[in-house]
Amino acid sequence: MLLQGKRIIIGICGSIAAYKIASLTRLLVKKGVGVQIIMTPESKEFITPLTLAALSKNPVLSDYYNPQNGEWHNHVELGLKADLLLIAPASANTLSKMAQGACDNLLLATYLSARCPVFFAPAMDLDMWKHPTTQANVAKLISYGNKVISPGTGELASGLVGEGRLAEPEEILEFIVDFFSNSLPLKGKKALVTAGPTYEAIDPVRFIGNHSSGKMGYAIAEQLKRLGATVTLISGPTSLPKPAGVTTIPVLSAQQMFDNCKEYFPEADILVMSAAVADYTPLEVATQKIKKITEDFTIQLKKTNDILAFLGAQKQKKQTVVGFALETNNELENAKNKLIRKNLDFIVLNSMQDQGAGFGSDTNKITIISKNNQESKYQLKSKTEVAKDICRHIIEHQNFINS
């Protein structure tokens, strides 16, 4: 999940160690990474572009343009879109050019255009690696903010034994995972998310419920996990698969959701209460199925615990609490009142009047209202993208209260 959707450029230089990039590419693709490979002209003597294209599932680039159809390989766009540029194996020749700002191939042009983090993994013979010029180039690249994946020690292609071997694919992968893990904005934070409906039993076969699918809450839980948080998801009944890496606690009733929220909330830094919790529950639950005998039938109801109000009253300074308001009329007024009454930091308003928003759909249209009465309106978009919008507000608030 950590690397899912990341875009990584691998720049391959002329080195016998280029064969290791086939294994690395496969490892990254299996993690859900979009891999774009750029090869220097010399590197194609050591491993074929066809092999790497098949493994990466993307055409391999080497020239500024495709001479057959004139398609331009925009190095600026490549550098801007990537989440990471990894140059591996990085030859002594390419390290020298990078340090001096030379630009005589597509890889070097992309490097000079990149705004993303740059890693380089050197591979060369022992004496070349130890040479003062090489060490000076490495030091200069590090001073520019680039990160080195140090070469290993072992038998080299020359037959010598020493430092200079390209790090193994698994070691490079671990380096990448550690980097993204440590740079995540919610790393070390605990998040509690509620999702889905609650079912309030009438008898052993019937219940009072609602049409919530849980999709919004699940998308938020997944996004918080991607951002580094340790996430606990308390979920009412849904048909959705459990999000990977998220602790999911299934519940049925409002009382069960209340009990679990009380248990996990004190340790949480973040609460997102997106569940559609029933406001009322039957005063008594029949032990046997109720038969259809009378013309009229009345069920006496009682209020359920107001989970969000209870937790809002317990809120600590370090916590960010987000509620939801699904309204059918007086939307803004009702949402703002709920924000104040329940001591929330944000409330997410969505209206039943907006087509494509609300229960069951894969899209949503929201307005996020903050405690200081700021309104952020968003257009209709997928619930995955909506979750990202909500999480951006959470990150900003966490940074503010912890600054």
In a domain, 17, yes or no: yes
Residues 93 and 222 in one domain: no
In a domain, 289, yes or no: yes
Cα–Cα distance measured from residue 231 to residue 67, given in angstroms and rounded to the nearest whole number: 50
Residues 232 and 330 in one domain: yes
Q: Give the pLDDT confidence of 52-102 residue by residue, as tens digits.
A: 999 999 999 988 667 776 666 667 678 778 899 999 999 999 999 999 999
Residues 127 and 206 in one domain: no
Residues 115 and 214 in one domain: no
Residues 79 and 217 in one domain: no
Report the pLDDT value the prediction gives residue 320, as an integer from 0 to 100.
98
Report the side by side order of strands in the sheet with 375-377.
247-250, 230-235, 190-195, 270-273, 320-327, 346-351, 367-370, 375-377
- Residue found under tokens 């390290």: 95
Label residue 239 exposed, middle or buried (CB < 10 Å: 0-12, 13-18, 19+): exposed
Given 182, 208, 240, which residue is the final one in a domain? 182
Answer whether 200's CB lies under 8 Å from 254's CB. Answer: yes
Residues 175 and 67 in one domain: yes
User: Which carries the bigger pLDDT value, residue 352 or residue 11?
Assistant: 11
Q: How many CA atoms lie within 13 A of 51 on its CB side?
A: 15
Q: Give the pLDDT confidence of 248-296 residue by residue, as tens digits.
A: 999 999 999 999 999 999 999 999 999 999 999 999 999 999 998 888 8
Its pTM stands at 0.69
In a domain, 2, yes or no: no
Output the CA–CA distances (angstroms, integers) from residue 146 to 137, 307, 383, in the order listed: 12, 48, 36
Residues 101 and 120 in one domain: yes
Q: What is the CA radius of gyration of the chain?
A: 28
In a domain, 315, yes or no: yes
Over pLDDT 70: what percentage of the chain?
95
Label residue 364 exposed, middle or buried (CB < 10 Å: 0-12, 13-18, 19+): buried
Query: Which domain CATH number covers 81?
Result: 3.40.50.1950
Task: Count how many domains the chain has.
Answer: 2
What integer is the mean pLDDT of 211-228?
A: 93
Cα–Cα distance measured from residue 1 to residue 56, given in angstroms and rounded to the nearest whole number: 18
Residues 288 and 380 in one domain: yes
In a domain, 323, yes or no: yes
Query: Domain containing 164: what range?
Result: 7-182
Cα–Cα distance measured from residue 226 to residue 328, given in angstroms and rounded to the nearest whole number: 33
Report the pLDDT value the prediction gives residue 257, as an integer from 0 to 100.
98
Beta bridge partner(s), residue 38: 11, 61
In a domain, 1, yes or no: no
Residues marked as catalytic:
210
Q: Give the pLDDT confidence of 153-200 residue by residue, as tens digits.
A: 888 887 878 888 999 999 999 999 988 888 889 989 999 999 999 999
Report the pLDDT value the prediction gives residue 73, as an integer from 0 to 100.
65
Query: Tell me, what amino acid is at 130?
Result: K
Beta bridge partner(s), residue 325: 349
Q: Give the pLDDT confidence of 294-332 residue by residue, as tens digits.
A: 888 899 999 999 999 999 999 999 999 999 998 778 888
Residues 6+ apart with CB under 8 A from 396: none
Residues 174 and 284 in one domain: no
Closest-CA residue to 233 (of 218, 255, 216): 218
Query: Tell me, what amino acid is at 105?
Result: N
Output the CA–CA distances (angstroms, integers) from residue 38 to 63, 110, 237, in the order listed: 9, 9, 47
β-pairing verdict for 270-273 and 247-250: unpaired
Q: How many CB atoms lie within 10 A of CB 209?
A: 16
In a domain, 310, yes or no: yes
Closest-CA residue to 319 (of 357, 264, 275): 264
- Residue found under tokens 């001591």: 343
Given 182, 208, 236, which residue is the final one in a domain? 182
Residues 6+ apart with CB under 8 A from 284: 300
Residues 147 and 204 in one domain: no
Average pLDDT, the chain: 92
Beta bridge partner(s), residue 87: 11, 120
Residues 127 and 237 in one domain: no
Output the CA–CA distances (angstroms, integers) from residue 343 to 254, 275, 350, 372, in the order listed: 20, 18, 19, 12
Cα–chain center distance at 183: 12
Residues 83 and 227 in one domain: no
Query: Which domain CATH number covers 222?
Result: 3.40.50.10300
In a domain, 112, yes or no: yes
Given 182, 204, 236, which residue is the final one in a domain? 182
